[in-house]
Amino acid sequence: MSTPHSSEPGRLDERSIRKIAMLSLVGASVEWFDFFLYGTAAALVFPKLFFPNADPAVGVLLAFATFGVGFVARPVGGVIWGHFGDRYGRKQAFLTALLTMAVGSVLIGLMPTYAAIGVAAPILLTVLRFVQGLAVGGQWGGGVLLATEYAPAGKRGYYGSFAHIGVPIGVLLGVVAFFFLNQSMSPEAFLGYGWRIPFVASIVLVAVALYAKARLEDTPAFQHLQRLAAEDAEQDVVSRSPIVEVMRTSWARVLLAGGAFTVVNTTFYLYITFSVDYGTRILSMSRASVLLALAIVSVLQIPLLAIFAAISDRIGRRPMYLAGAIGTAVWAFPLFWLMDTRTGWGMTLALLGGQTVLSMMYGPLAAFFSELFNARLRYSGASLGYQLGALLGGAVSSIIAVELYRVFGSSVPISLYIILVSVIAVACTLALTETYQHDLDDAEEALAR
C-alpha cells in the first residue's frame, strides 16, 4: 500500500495495517457474496430452472450437487494459487482470484436455462460453479495472508478475522439481495430474470482488484524471502514447487488442519443453505421469514468473529477452537428443536446458537492456519488444509442432510452427523500444536530446517 513504512523494512504502521485488513474484508465480502448467491439460488431457484423435470426433493438434491462442485474445485484452486502465491507473491495471486470469480459469477447471471438449451444448461452451470470454486480456493489464502503477515504478532488473530468477517457480510448481501428481489417482484419475474441481477452485479470485483493492484504491496514475510533470494541466487529461498514440498514435509499438518476445519464448513452450510430448504420445503415456513432469520444472524456474527479471534490472541488458538467444536456438538439437537417450532424467532435462535459456537472456531482460524506453516510454503499449506476441510464438509453436508431426512423423515440423524464431525475436529485440534506465539517472518529458520 502506498503508505510510509516504519523503520523496519516491509512493516507498516497500524493505521495502514487496518486499511489492508479492510481491503481483505471487502474482497472477501464480494467474493463470498458471489459464492453464497449460488447456495441460496440452489435452494430457491435452480431446481425449477435447471432441473424442471425432477421430483422437487430430487431437484433440490441435483441443485445442491452442482453447489458441491464448487467445493471439489476449491482444493484445486488452492493448489494453483498456492503455487503462484508462494513463488510470485500473495498480492498477484489474490488479485487473479478476484478477477476469476468476477468472470464466473457474471456468466452465471447471463446463462440460458433448461427451457432454452436443454441439458446443456445444467452442464454449463456446473462448469461455471467449478470456476467459482477455483477462485475461492485461491482467494482465501491471499486474503488471509495479506491480513496476518502484515499484522503485529499480538494481533494476528484479530486482523486475520477480517478476511473471515467477509463471509457473514457476503451471506448477508446475498440474502438481502434475494429477499428484496423476491419481495419486490412477482414469482414469475423473479424466476424469469430477477435472480440474475445479483450475479451480474459481481462485476464490482473488478473495481476491488484494480484498487488493490494500485495501492497494495506484498507482505513483509514474502518481501523478506525475495530479499534473501536476491542476495543468494544459488539458494532455493522461494520454493520451486511449494505444493510438492508441503506434501513432502507437512502432509500430516495439512490433513489435521483439513480434519479440524471440516466441522466448520459442514455446519456452516447446514446453517445457511440446508436451513433455507428445511424451513421452506419441509417446515412450510415462508421464504421471507427464513431469509430474515439468516440476515439477522449474519449481522450478529460479524462482531462475534472479531471478539473470539481477539481472545485467541491472548489465550491461544487451540483452546478457543476446541470450545467451538465442543459447543457445536452440544448444539446439534437444540438446533432442530428450535427450527421445528416453525416460527421466525425459533429459526433465528437456532441459527444464532449455531453460528456463535462456529465463530469460536472460524474467528481465530485465519491466524491458526497461517501460523501452522513457514513463510516459503504458507500460501500452499494453509490453502490446502482449509480447502480440504471445505471439500470434506461443505461439498456434501447439504446433500447428506437432505438425503438423511428423506430416508429417515427425522432431523435426529442430521444432529448425529453434526456430532460426528465435531468429534473429528476435537481429535484433530488436539493433535495440532499451539501456534499463537509463532513468528510468521521465519525465512531463515525455514531454510535452516
pLDDT tens figures, 320-347: 999 999 999 999 999 999 999 999 999 9
Domains in the chain, ordered, with CATH?
Answer: 14-218+248-448 (1.20.1250.20)
Residue 8: what pLDDT? 45
* Cα 359–Cα 78–Cα 165 angle in degrees, nearest 5: 25
Give dist(CA 332, CA 419) in Å, integer: 7
Q: What is the pTM of this model?
A: 0.84
Nearest to 293 by CA among 279, 308, 282, 307: 279
Mean pLDDT in residue range 123-130? 90
* Percent of the chain clearing pLDDT 90 (strictly above): 37
Cell numbers that stand for 26 in this block: 471487502
pLDDT digits (tens, 9 = 90+) for 365-397: 999 999 999 888 899 999 999 988 988 887 788
Is pLDDT above 80 for 178? no
- Which range has highest mean pLDDT (13-17, 66-70, 267-271)? 267-271
Closest by CA to 217, choosing from 145, 161, 146, is 146
Check: CB of residue 9 under 8 Å from CB of residue 220: yes
pLDDT bucket at 3, cuts 50 / 70 / 90: very low
